[in-house]
Structure 1
Amino acid sequence: MPTLVITAVAAERDAVLGGSRSWRTPGPDVLAVGAGPAASAAGAAAALARGDYDLVINAGIGGGFPGLAPVGSTVLATRVVAADLGAQTADGFVPIEELGFGTSAFEADPRLVARVGDALRAAGVPLATGPALTVSTVTGTAARAAELAEWHPGAAVEGMEGFGVATAAAAFGVPMLELRTISNAVGPRDRAAWRIPDALRALASAFAALEGSPTR
Protein backbone atom coordinates (compact mmCIF):
# COMPACT_ATOMS: atom_id res chain seq x y z
CA MET A 1 0.00 0.00 0.00
CA PRO A 2 1.27 3.52 -0.73
CA THR A 3 2.24 6.22 1.70
CA LEU A 4 0.15 9.39 1.94
CA VAL A 5 2.14 12.61 2.37
CA ILE A 6 0.30 15.73 3.51
CA THR A 7 1.86 19.17 3.03
CA ALA A 8 0.46 22.63 3.60
CA VAL A 9 1.44 24.37 0.38
CA ALA A 10 2.32 23.55 -3.20
CA ALA A 11 6.03 24.37 -2.79
CA GLU A 12 6.35 21.68 -0.09
CA ARG A 13 4.36 19.21 -2.19
CA ASP A 14 6.60 19.84 -5.17
CA ALA A 15 9.74 19.34 -3.06
CA VAL A 16 8.47 15.97 -1.82
CA LEU A 17 7.53 14.92 -5.35
CA GLY A 18 10.90 16.07 -6.65
CA GLY A 19 12.75 14.01 -4.07
CA SER A 20 10.65 10.87 -4.52
CA ARG A 21 10.79 11.11 -8.33
CA SER A 22 14.17 9.39 -8.18
CA TRP A 23 12.66 6.30 -6.56
CA ARG A 24 12.74 3.14 -8.62
CA THR A 25 9.53 2.01 -6.89
CA PRO A 26 6.20 3.88 -6.90
CA GLY A 27 6.41 7.07 -4.87
CA PRO A 28 3.96 8.39 -2.30
CA ASP A 29 0.67 10.13 -2.92
CA VAL A 30 1.35 13.78 -2.06
CA LEU A 31 -1.31 16.40 -1.35
CA ALA A 32 -1.12 20.09 -0.44
CA VAL A 33 -4.20 20.73 1.71
CA GLY A 34 -3.67 24.21 3.19
CA ALA A 35 -2.06 25.71 6.27
CA GLY A 36 -3.10 25.11 9.85
CA PRO A 37 -4.37 22.16 11.88
CA ALA A 38 -7.99 22.38 10.69
CA ALA A 39 -7.11 22.30 6.99
CA SER A 40 -4.58 19.52 7.51
CA ALA A 41 -7.01 17.38 9.52
CA ALA A 42 -9.77 17.81 6.95
CA GLY A 43 -7.47 17.18 3.99
CA ALA A 44 -5.84 14.12 5.52
CA ALA A 45 -9.17 12.64 6.59
CA ALA A 46 -10.67 13.10 3.12
CA ALA A 47 -7.67 11.40 1.51
CA LEU A 48 -7.70 8.53 4.00
CA ALA A 49 -11.39 7.96 3.38
CA ARG A 50 -10.75 7.65 -0.37
CA GLY A 51 -7.59 5.53 -0.34
CA ASP A 52 -5.89 2.61 1.37
CA TYR A 53 -2.65 3.70 3.07
CA ASP A 54 -0.34 2.12 5.61
CA LEU A 55 1.44 5.34 6.62
CA VAL A 56 0.73 9.07 6.68
CA ILE A 57 3.57 11.60 6.74
CA ASN A 58 3.08 15.29 7.44
CA ALA A 59 5.98 16.90 5.59
CA GLY A 60 7.08 20.48 5.21
CA ILE A 61 9.39 23.19 6.41
CA GLY A 62 9.28 24.73 9.86
CA GLY A 63 11.03 26.60 12.62
CA GLY A 64 13.73 24.88 14.63
CA PHE A 65 14.34 25.43 18.33
CA PRO A 66 17.85 26.84 18.81
CA GLY A 67 20.35 24.31 20.09
CA LEU A 68 18.23 21.37 18.97
CA ALA A 69 17.42 21.81 15.28
CA PRO A 70 19.59 24.31 13.39
CA VAL A 71 18.61 25.91 10.11
CA GLY A 72 19.21 23.42 7.29
CA SER A 73 18.66 20.33 9.41
CA THR A 74 15.81 17.82 9.27
CA VAL A 75 13.57 16.87 12.19
CA LEU A 76 11.76 13.56 12.57
CA ALA A 77 9.15 13.88 15.32
CA THR A 78 9.01 11.46 18.21
CA ARG A 79 5.66 12.93 19.25
CA VAL A 80 3.27 15.49 17.78
CA VAL A 81 1.91 18.07 20.20
CA ALA A 82 -0.83 20.70 19.94
CA ALA A 83 1.30 23.21 21.79
CA ASP A 84 -1.40 25.69 22.72
CA LEU A 85 -4.46 23.43 23.05
CA GLY A 86 -5.62 24.00 26.60
CA ALA A 87 -6.17 26.91 28.94
CA GLN A 88 -4.10 29.85 30.12
CA THR A 89 -4.32 30.32 33.88
CA ALA A 90 -2.72 32.53 36.48
CA ASP A 91 -0.36 29.64 37.22
CA GLY A 92 0.55 29.07 33.57
CA PHE A 93 -0.58 26.86 30.72
CA VAL A 94 -2.82 23.85 31.38
CA PRO A 95 -3.00 21.26 28.56
CA ILE A 96 -6.35 19.94 27.47
CA GLU A 97 -5.71 16.55 29.14
CA GLU A 98 -5.73 18.22 32.54
CA LEU A 99 -9.03 19.88 31.69
CA GLY A 100 -10.53 16.48 30.88
CA PHE A 101 -11.42 17.34 27.27
CA GLY A 102 -9.20 15.09 25.17
CA THR A 103 -5.57 14.79 24.14
CA SER A 104 -2.98 17.26 22.94
CA ALA A 105 -0.30 14.78 21.85
CA PHE A 106 0.21 11.70 19.70
CA GLU A 107 3.26 9.48 20.14
CA ALA A 108 5.05 8.25 17.04
CA ASP A 109 5.89 4.55 16.84
CA PRO A 110 9.48 4.48 18.13
CA ARG A 111 10.41 1.54 15.90
CA LEU A 112 9.20 3.41 12.84
CA VAL A 113 11.04 6.56 13.91
CA ALA A 114 14.21 4.50 14.39
CA ARG A 115 13.99 2.83 10.97
CA VAL A 116 13.27 6.04 9.10
CA GLY A 117 15.90 7.91 11.10
CA ASP A 118 18.49 5.27 10.24
CA ALA A 119 17.66 5.61 6.53
CA LEU A 120 18.03 9.39 6.65
CA ARG A 121 21.29 9.30 8.59
CA ALA A 122 22.72 6.65 6.26
CA ALA A 123 22.13 9.08 3.39
CA GLY A 124 23.98 11.86 5.22
CA VAL A 125 20.88 13.87 6.16
CA PRO A 126 21.61 16.05 9.24
CA LEU A 127 18.85 14.76 11.52
CA ALA A 128 17.39 15.71 14.87
CA THR A 129 14.57 13.93 16.66
CA GLY A 130 12.19 15.24 19.29
CA PRO A 131 8.69 16.56 19.81
CA ALA A 132 7.12 18.60 17.01
CA LEU A 133 4.86 21.42 18.17
CA THR A 134 1.75 22.39 16.22
CA VAL A 135 0.65 26.01 16.62
CA SER A 136 -2.01 28.16 15.00
CA THR A 137 0.08 31.31 15.40
CA VAL A 138 3.73 31.09 14.38
CA THR A 139 6.12 32.20 17.11
CA GLY A 140 7.56 35.67 16.57
CA THR A 141 9.23 36.66 19.83
CA ALA A 142 11.98 35.36 22.09
CA ALA A 143 9.58 35.39 25.03
CA ARG A 144 7.08 33.15 23.27
CA ALA A 145 9.83 30.78 22.14
CA ALA A 146 11.07 30.49 25.71
CA GLU A 147 7.53 29.89 26.94
CA LEU A 148 6.97 27.05 24.48
CA ALA A 149 10.33 25.49 25.33
CA GLU A 150 9.37 25.60 29.02
CA TRP A 151 5.94 24.08 28.44
CA HIS A 152 7.27 21.39 26.11
CA PRO A 153 10.83 20.38 27.12
CA GLY A 154 12.94 19.03 24.29
CA ALA A 155 10.69 20.39 21.54
CA ALA A 156 12.70 20.43 18.31
CA VAL A 157 10.46 22.01 15.69
CA GLU A 158 7.38 24.19 15.27
CA GLY A 159 4.85 23.80 12.47
CA MET A 160 1.15 24.36 11.84
CA GLU A 161 -0.20 21.05 10.52
CA GLY A 162 1.20 18.04 12.38
CA PHE A 163 -1.47 17.65 15.05
CA GLY A 164 -4.26 17.89 12.49
CA VAL A 165 -2.71 15.15 10.36
CA ALA A 166 -2.07 13.02 13.45
CA THR A 167 -5.69 13.39 14.54
CA ALA A 168 -6.95 12.19 11.16
CA ALA A 169 -4.46 9.32 11.03
CA ALA A 170 -5.47 8.16 14.51
CA ALA A 171 -9.14 8.20 13.52
CA PHE A 172 -8.37 5.84 10.62
CA GLY A 173 -5.92 3.68 12.59
CA VAL A 174 -2.97 4.55 10.33
CA PRO A 175 0.56 5.23 11.68
CA MET A 176 1.76 8.81 11.27
CA LEU A 177 5.11 10.58 11.12
CA GLU A 178 5.99 14.26 10.96
CA LEU A 179 9.11 15.23 9.02
CA ARG A 180 10.21 18.86 8.67
CA THR A 181 13.26 20.65 7.37
CA ILE A 182 14.31 23.82 9.14
CA SER A 183 14.05 27.18 7.39
CA ASN A 184 14.38 29.47 10.41
CA ALA A 185 14.89 29.57 14.15
CA VAL A 186 11.89 29.71 16.46
CA GLY A 187 11.96 33.17 18.02
CA PRO A 188 12.02 36.77 16.84
CA ARG A 189 10.48 37.08 13.38
CA ASP A 190 13.36 37.95 11.05
CA ARG A 191 12.34 37.25 7.46
CA ALA A 192 15.81 38.18 6.20
CA ALA A 193 17.25 35.22 8.10
CA TRP A 194 14.82 32.66 6.72
CA ARG A 195 16.24 30.07 4.32
CA ILE A 196 13.08 28.76 2.65
CA PRO A 197 14.64 27.64 -0.68
CA ASP A 198 17.37 25.79 1.22
CA ALA A 199 14.78 24.11 3.44
CA LEU A 200 12.75 23.02 0.42
CA ARG A 201 15.85 21.54 -1.18
CA ALA A 202 16.57 19.72 2.09
CA LEU A 203 13.01 18.38 2.06
CA ALA A 204 13.54 16.99 -1.43
CA SER A 205 16.83 15.41 -0.33
CA ALA A 206 15.17 13.82 2.69
CA PHE A 207 12.53 12.17 0.54
CA ALA A 208 15.09 11.05 -2.01
CA ALA A 209 16.88 9.34 0.90
CA LEU A 210 13.75 7.38 1.81
CA GLU A 211 13.96 5.26 -1.36
CA GLY A 212 13.68 1.67 -0.19
CA SER A 213 13.26 2.57 3.49
CA PRO A 214 10.58 0.72 5.47
CA THR A 215 8.08 3.57 5.46
CA ARG A 216 5.51 1.97 3.21
Structure 2
Amino acid sequence: MAGFWWGLLASSSLLLGAAVVLWRPPGKRAIGLIMAFGAGVLISAVAYDLVEDASRSASGWVLLAGLAGGALTFFVGDLLIDRMGGNGRKRSTGEQSNGSGGAIALGTVLDGIPESVVLGSTLVGGNGVSVAMLAAVFLSNLPEAMSATSGLVKSGTSRGRLWLLWGGTTAVSAVAAGVGYLALGSASGATVAVVQAFAAGALLTMLVDTMIPEATEFGGPVTGLVTVLGFATAFGLSALN
Protein backbone atom coordinates (compact mmCIF):
# COMPACT_ATOMS: atom_id res chain seq x y z
CA MET A 1 0.00 0.00 0.00
CA ALA A 2 2.92 2.34 0.60
CA GLY A 3 3.99 1.87 -3.02
CA PHE A 4 0.41 2.46 -4.16
CA TRP A 5 0.04 5.74 -2.26
CA TRP A 6 3.41 7.09 -3.36
CA GLY A 7 2.54 6.14 -6.93
CA LEU A 8 -0.81 7.87 -6.60
CA LEU A 9 0.87 11.04 -5.35
CA ALA A 10 3.43 11.04 -8.16
CA SER A 11 0.84 10.43 -10.89
CA SER A 12 -1.67 12.90 -9.47
CA SER A 13 0.11 15.59 -11.47
CA LEU A 14 -1.61 14.12 -14.54
CA LEU A 15 -4.91 15.30 -13.11
CA LEU A 16 -3.34 18.61 -12.09
CA GLY A 17 -2.00 19.22 -15.60
CA ALA A 18 -5.39 18.44 -17.15
CA ALA A 19 -7.12 20.75 -14.66
CA VAL A 20 -4.79 23.64 -15.50
CA VAL A 21 -5.49 23.30 -19.23
CA LEU A 22 -9.25 23.00 -18.76
CA TRP A 23 -9.28 26.00 -16.42
CA ARG A 24 -7.02 28.33 -18.43
CA PRO A 25 -5.34 26.84 -21.52
CA PRO A 26 -1.68 27.93 -21.71
CA GLY A 27 0.02 28.94 -24.94
CA LYS A 28 2.11 26.56 -27.00
CA ARG A 29 5.37 28.18 -25.88
CA ALA A 30 4.50 27.78 -22.21
CA ILE A 31 3.68 24.11 -22.75
CA GLY A 32 6.92 23.63 -24.68
CA LEU A 33 9.03 25.15 -21.91
CA ILE A 34 7.28 23.16 -19.20
CA MET A 35 7.84 20.06 -21.31
CA ALA A 36 11.55 20.95 -21.59
CA PHE A 37 11.84 21.32 -17.82
CA GLY A 38 10.11 17.96 -17.29
CA ALA A 39 12.40 16.29 -19.82
CA GLY A 40 15.46 17.59 -17.99
CA VAL A 41 14.12 16.31 -14.68
CA LEU A 42 13.46 12.86 -16.10
CA ILE A 43 16.88 12.65 -17.82
CA SER A 44 18.56 13.37 -14.50
CA ALA A 45 16.44 10.77 -12.69
CA VAL A 46 17.28 8.16 -15.32
CA ALA A 47 21.00 8.92 -15.08
CA TYR A 48 21.43 9.13 -11.30
CA ASP A 49 18.50 7.29 -9.72
CA LEU A 50 18.31 4.42 -12.18
CA VAL A 51 21.47 3.77 -14.19
CA GLU A 52 24.02 4.90 -11.60
CA ASP A 53 22.20 3.05 -8.83
CA ALA A 54 21.87 -0.09 -10.97
CA SER A 55 25.58 -0.01 -11.82
CA ARG A 56 26.39 -0.79 -8.17
CA SER A 57 24.63 -4.16 -8.34
CA ALA A 58 25.15 -5.40 -11.89
CA SER A 59 27.86 -5.58 -14.54
CA GLY A 60 28.04 -3.26 -17.51
CA TRP A 61 26.86 -5.96 -19.92
CA VAL A 62 23.79 -6.67 -17.81
CA LEU A 63 22.95 -2.96 -17.71
CA LEU A 64 23.38 -2.66 -21.47
CA ALA A 65 21.06 -5.62 -21.97
CA GLY A 66 18.49 -4.04 -19.65
CA LEU A 67 18.69 -0.69 -21.41
CA ALA A 68 18.33 -2.30 -24.82
CA GLY A 69 15.44 -4.46 -23.65
CA GLY A 70 13.55 -1.50 -22.21
CA ALA A 71 14.14 0.66 -25.27
CA LEU A 72 13.08 -2.04 -27.74
CA THR A 73 10.02 -3.00 -25.68
CA PHE A 74 8.80 0.58 -25.53
CA PHE A 75 9.61 1.14 -29.20
CA VAL A 76 7.64 -1.90 -30.35
CA GLY A 77 4.72 -1.18 -28.00
CA ASP A 78 4.61 2.45 -29.08
CA LEU A 79 4.77 1.47 -32.76
CA LEU A 80 1.83 -0.92 -32.35
CA ILE A 81 -0.20 1.70 -30.50
CA ASP A 82 0.54 4.29 -33.19
CA ARG A 83 -0.78 1.88 -35.82
CA MET A 84 -3.91 1.34 -33.72
CA GLY A 85 -4.62 5.08 -33.76
CA GLY A 86 -2.60 6.43 -30.84
CA ASN A 87 -0.13 8.44 -32.89
CA GLY A 88 0.53 11.96 -31.58
CA ARG A 89 -1.32 11.24 -28.33
CA LYS A 90 0.75 13.75 -26.37
CA ARG A 91 0.88 16.50 -28.94
CA SER A 92 -0.74 19.83 -28.09
CA THR A 93 -1.71 20.57 -31.71
CA GLY A 94 -4.84 18.41 -31.90
CA GLU A 95 -3.45 15.58 -34.03
CA GLN A 96 -5.44 13.16 -31.88
CA SER A 97 -8.62 14.03 -33.80
CA ASN A 98 -7.88 11.28 -36.33
CA GLY A 99 -6.89 8.72 -33.72
CA SER A 100 -8.55 6.07 -31.62
CA GLY A 101 -9.61 6.92 -28.08
CA GLY A 102 -8.77 3.42 -26.86
CA ALA A 103 -5.31 3.50 -28.43
CA ILE A 104 -4.63 6.95 -26.97
CA ALA A 105 -5.62 5.70 -23.51
CA LEU A 106 -3.50 2.56 -23.89
CA GLY A 107 -0.51 4.60 -25.05
CA THR A 108 -0.85 7.00 -22.14
CA VAL A 109 -0.82 4.09 -19.71
CA LEU A 110 2.21 2.58 -21.50
CA ASP A 111 4.12 5.83 -21.01
CA GLY A 112 3.44 5.90 -17.26
CA ILE A 113 4.04 2.32 -16.17
CA PRO A 114 7.90 2.10 -16.28
CA GLU A 115 8.47 5.15 -14.09
CA SER A 116 5.77 4.04 -11.62
CA VAL A 117 7.22 0.54 -11.24
CA VAL A 118 10.64 2.03 -10.55
CA LEU A 119 9.18 4.49 -8.04
CA GLY A 120 7.70 1.58 -6.11
CA SER A 121 10.98 -0.31 -6.27
CA THR A 122 12.80 2.54 -4.51
CA LEU A 123 10.99 1.48 -1.32
CA VAL A 124 12.89 -1.81 -1.36
CA GLY A 125 15.38 -1.88 1.51
CA GLY A 126 13.27 0.06 3.98
CA ASN A 127 14.92 3.46 3.43
CA GLY A 128 11.75 5.12 2.20
CA VAL A 129 10.81 6.40 -1.21
CA SER A 130 13.39 8.18 -3.37
CA VAL A 131 12.52 11.87 -3.14
CA ALA A 132 14.36 12.58 -6.38
CA MET A 133 12.46 9.87 -8.29
CA LEU A 134 9.16 10.97 -6.77
CA ALA A 135 9.81 14.56 -7.87
CA ALA A 136 10.94 13.42 -11.31
CA VAL A 137 7.77 11.42 -11.95
CA PHE A 138 5.54 14.19 -10.61
CA LEU A 139 7.26 16.99 -12.54
CA SER A 140 7.49 15.05 -15.80
CA ASN A 141 3.84 13.94 -15.71
CA LEU A 142 2.63 17.53 -15.39
CA PRO A 143 3.75 18.84 -18.81
CA GLU A 144 2.84 15.55 -20.49
CA ALA A 145 -0.74 15.87 -19.27
CA MET A 146 -0.89 19.56 -20.20
CA SER A 147 0.32 18.94 -23.73
CA ALA A 148 -1.90 15.92 -24.33
CA THR A 149 -4.96 17.59 -22.82
CA SER A 150 -4.48 20.66 -25.03
CA GLY A 151 -4.39 18.45 -28.10
CA LEU A 152 -7.34 16.33 -27.01
CA VAL A 153 -9.45 19.43 -26.34
CA LYS A 154 -8.65 20.74 -29.82
CA SER A 155 -9.62 17.37 -31.28
CA GLY A 156 -13.06 17.62 -29.69
CA THR A 157 -12.66 15.22 -26.77
CA SER A 158 -15.27 15.87 -24.05
CA ARG A 159 -14.29 16.84 -20.51
CA GLY A 160 -15.85 13.67 -19.15
CA ARG A 161 -13.66 11.48 -21.35
CA LEU A 162 -10.61 13.54 -20.42
CA TRP A 163 -11.19 13.04 -16.70
CA LEU A 164 -11.80 9.34 -17.30
CA LEU A 165 -8.53 9.08 -19.27
CA TRP A 166 -6.34 10.82 -16.70
CA GLY A 167 -8.14 9.34 -13.71
CA GLY A 168 -7.69 5.84 -15.12
CA THR A 169 -4.04 6.47 -15.96
CA THR A 170 -3.41 7.82 -12.44
CA ALA A 171 -5.00 4.73 -10.90
CA VAL A 172 -3.04 2.32 -13.13
CA SER A 173 0.20 4.15 -12.35
CA ALA A 174 -0.49 3.87 -8.62
CA VAL A 175 -1.14 0.15 -8.95
CA ALA A 176 2.07 -0.22 -10.99
CA ALA A 177 4.05 1.43 -8.19
CA GLY A 178 2.55 -0.99 -5.67
CA VAL A 179 3.33 -3.94 -7.95
CA GLY A 180 6.89 -2.65 -8.38
CA TYR A 181 7.49 -2.87 -4.64
CA LEU A 182 5.62 -6.16 -4.25
CA ALA A 183 7.50 -7.85 -7.09
CA LEU A 184 10.94 -6.58 -6.12
CA GLY A 185 10.64 -6.56 -2.35
CA SER A 186 12.45 -9.88 -2.00
CA ALA A 187 14.40 -9.77 -5.27
CA SER A 188 18.18 -9.79 -5.44
CA GLY A 189 20.16 -6.63 -6.05
CA ALA A 190 21.03 -7.82 -9.55
CA THR A 191 17.36 -8.35 -10.42
CA VAL A 192 16.43 -4.88 -9.19
CA ALA A 193 19.32 -3.47 -11.24
CA VAL A 194 18.04 -5.14 -14.41
CA VAL A 195 14.56 -3.72 -13.82
CA GLN A 196 16.03 -0.26 -13.26
CA ALA A 197 18.05 -0.48 -16.48
CA PHE A 198 15.01 -1.77 -18.38
CA ALA A 199 12.91 1.16 -17.13
CA ALA A 200 15.72 3.60 -17.96
CA GLY A 201 15.80 2.40 -21.57
CA ALA A 202 12.01 2.69 -21.86
CA LEU A 203 11.93 6.17 -20.31
CA LEU A 204 14.72 7.54 -22.51
CA THR A 205 12.95 6.22 -25.62
CA MET A 206 9.69 7.79 -24.45
CA LEU A 207 11.42 11.12 -23.80
CA VAL A 208 12.83 11.42 -27.30
CA ASP A 209 9.62 10.20 -28.89
CA THR A 210 7.03 12.28 -27.04
CA MET A 211 8.48 15.07 -24.87
CA ILE A 212 11.60 16.50 -26.48
CA PRO A 213 10.08 17.08 -29.97
CA GLU A 214 7.22 19.11 -28.45
CA ALA A 215 9.62 21.11 -26.29
CA THR A 216 11.97 21.86 -29.19
CA GLU A 217 9.19 22.82 -31.58
CA PHE A 218 7.39 25.29 -29.33
CA GLY A 219 9.82 26.27 -26.57
CA GLY A 220 11.94 28.65 -28.60
CA PRO A 221 15.66 29.48 -28.19
CA VAL A 222 15.69 29.00 -24.41
CA THR A 223 14.47 25.38 -24.56
CA GLY A 224 17.96 23.99 -23.91
CA LEU A 225 18.49 26.27 -20.92
CA VAL A 226 15.18 25.24 -19.37
CA THR A 227 16.02 21.57 -19.93
CA VAL A 228 19.32 22.04 -18.09
CA LEU A 229 17.43 23.81 -15.28
CA GLY A 230 15.18 20.78 -14.93
CA PHE A 231 18.19 18.46 -14.96
CA ALA A 232 19.95 20.54 -12.29
CA THR A 233 16.82 20.64 -10.11
CA ALA A 234 16.46 16.85 -10.14
CA PHE A 235 20.21 16.39 -9.59
CA GLY A 236 20.04 18.69 -6.57
CA LEU A 237 17.15 16.68 -5.11
CA SER A 238 19.07 13.46 -5.74
CA ALA A 239 22.16 14.82 -4.00
CA LEU A 240 20.12 15.99 -1.00
CA ASN A 241 18.35 12.65 -0.85
- Give the TM bin, normalised by the shorter chain: under 0.3
| TM-score of the superposed pair, with normalisation by structure 1 | 0.28
More helix, by proportion? 2
Scaled by the length of structure 2, what TM-score is found? 0.26
